[in-house]
Amino acid sequence: MSGRHREQARSHRDCVRRWLFKSFRTHATGAILELITIAPGRLNTTLNAPIEPHRFILEPFEARRFANLCGQFDEHLRLIEQRLTIEIRNRGNQFELIGEPKHTTSAENLLRRLYRETKGTELSPDMVHLFLQESAVEQLDNHSPAEPSVALRTKKGMIRPRGLNQLRYVKEILGNDINFGIGPAGTGKTYLAVACAVDALEREQIRRILLVRPAVEAGEKLGFLPGDLSQKIDPYLRPLYDALYEMLGFEYVAKLIERQVIEVAPLAYMRGRTLNNSFIILDESQNTTVEQMKMFLTRIGFGSTAVITGDITQVDLPRGTKSGLHHVIEVLKDVPGISFTHFQPKDVVRHPLVQRIVEAYERFETKAADDAAAKDSRRDA
């Protein structure tokens, strides 16, 4: 071996030896495992800080329920670990959580709640994700008193809002005649509005449900659509139909549409009507013009409730046309009897990546607006 190769081997051995285990943690001694890295020219760094584990026991112990709680290959526990940045260890029904105290406390509350659910529900990763929305890291520092829950009755079962913002949104709908739900995709604005409509219909508080949406293509021209009026507008109302099918069943929804208890109408066909004892949902309202929004809001009759949903960041109107949703927020924000609920990216209840995508777009658009404002100020100077 040449002198140069021997020198490289010696250097490599020296680097390996610099990985030292200072102490080893055991349950008997309570010692702390610290991994010390001593690299050339760098200070000693303790990788694992001494954090006291958070321990608790879930009772009563039932093997079937614990298998349901943990999921296949512990996928439910791994999902909670990833979201709350903690480590979960368990032996049977004895749990040990490693992490920040506020995170481990939230995780214990979540695990206890999920364990209660296992008594009559088969958990899935999607359900765990929804429960995690209520224990999101952003809300861990919020110590405001918990608000009483609300349950909406449908033919297929009860629907409960997920998280504080959804709960407030549902309460506003139940307490006001005109309600706006504004926020990014996936926050449950439309789904909860349909659930409130179905609940009111089941309780016989209203006589019919109207589904309304502006017929505006999302950045592309679809051209001529064949069929009658209902068939032309159906593609635009598919999210509303999907929610109705889930809550009432396909056959029952078809029967209600045939009896005109559920009515589908494009926004342009609402002019001149007065809607009494109805629950009206205007979806994708960011694509209404100022005149269309005013026309829609003045259709509301006695005994009716209107819910207007939209995302002001996804306007598909022609360039230069002001969104009716943008305008109505400024005009009606102080009018009594009208509620506005604003959803944030943290309220997204779809795939976790959807929340990150929404946040990334929000950051990019904010930066672009700031850069444009700075450019304009330099030009004026």
pLDDT 10s digits, 116-162 = 888 888 888 878 877 776 655 445 444 444 556 688 888 888 888 87
If residue 111 lies in a helix (H) or strand (E), which one and from where to where?
A: helix 101-117
pLDDT of residue 339 exceeding 60: yes
Asked if the structure places residue 275 within a domain, the reply is yes
Instruction: Give the model's pLDDT for residue 213.
Output: 84
Q: What is the pLDDT of residue 280?
A: 94
What pLDDT, on the 0 to 100 scale, is given for residue 136? 54
Q: Give the residue with greater pLDDT, 222 vs 229.
A: 229
Q: How confident is the model at residue 207 (pLDDT cuts 50, 70, 90)?
A: very high
The per-residue pLDDT for 216 is 63
13 & 96 share domain: no
Mean pLDDT computed over every residue of the chain = 78
For residue 231, the domain's CATH number is 3.40.50.300
Write the CA distances from 157 to 68, 115, 133, 248, 349, integer angstroms.
21, 20, 21, 9, 19
Q: In which band, very low, low, confident or very high, does the pLDDT at 224 lie, cut at 50, 70 and 90?
A: low
* Residue 6: predicted pLDDT: 55
Confidence of residue 232 (pLDDT cuts 50, 70, 90): low
Same-domain pairing of 39 and 177: no
pLDDT in tens, 252-310: 999 999 999 998 888 877 888 888 999 999 998 999 999 999 999 998 999 999 999 99
Q: Are residues 167 and 197 in the same domain?
A: yes
State whether 186 and 258 are in the same domain. yes
CA distance 192 to 179: 12
Whether the pLDDT of residue 201 is over 90: the answer is yes
pLDDT of 45 > 50? The answer is no
| 365: in domain | no
Q: Are residues 95 and 191 in the same domain?
A: no
pLDDT of residue 97: 92
Q: Residues 135, 235: one domain?
A: no
Which residues constitute the domain of residue 33?
A: 3-46
Q: What is the mean pLDDT of residues 60-68?
A: 89
Same domain, 198 and 61: no
Residue 62 in this model has a pLDDT that exceeds 50: yes
pLDDT, tens digit, for every residue of 110-123? 899 899 888 888 88
Three-state DSSP class for residue 269 = helix
168-172, 195-199, 365-369: which has the minimum mean pLDDT?
A: 365-369
Q: How many domains are contained in the chain?
A: 3
Closest CA to 111 of 124, 95, 99: 95
pTM of this prediction? 0.63
Decide if 129 is inside a domain.
yes
Confidence of residue 227 (pLDDT cuts 50, 70, 90): low
Is the predicted pLDDT of residue 32 greater than 70, yes or no?
A: no
150 phi and psi angles, rounded to 5 deg: -130, 140
Domain boundary among 109, 139, 169: 139
Share of the chain above pLDDT 90, in %: 28
pLDDT in the model for residue 291: 92
Does 79 lie in the same domain as 42? no
Same domain, 237 and 339: yes
Backbone angles phi, psi at 14, to 5 degrees: -65, -40
In a domain, 73, yes or no: yes
- Return the pLDDT at 20: 35
- Predicted confidence at residue 233, as pLDDT, reads 67
* Position 366 in a domain: no
Whether residues 320 and 269 share a domain: the answer is yes
Question: Does 311 lie in the same domain as 249?
Answer: yes
Q: How far apart are CA 2 and CA 192, in angstroms?
A: 75
Q: Smallest Cα–Cα separation from 128: which of 71, 88, 86? A: 71
Question: In this structure, how many other beta carbons lie within 10 angstroms of the beta carbon of residue 99?
Answer: 19
- With residue 236 as reference, give the H or E element that holds it: none
Task: Establish if 253 belongs to a structural domain.
Answer: yes
* Residue listed under structure tokens 């045939």: 258
Contact (Cβ atoms closer than 8 angstroms) between residue 65 and residue 118: yes
- Lowest pLDDT segment from 197-206, 280-289, 371-380: 371-380
Amino acid at 378: R
For residue 175, is it within any domain? yes
Residues 15, 68 share a domain: no
Q: Is residue 357 part of a domain?
A: no
pLDDT score at 293? 93
Residue 43 or 346, more confident: 346
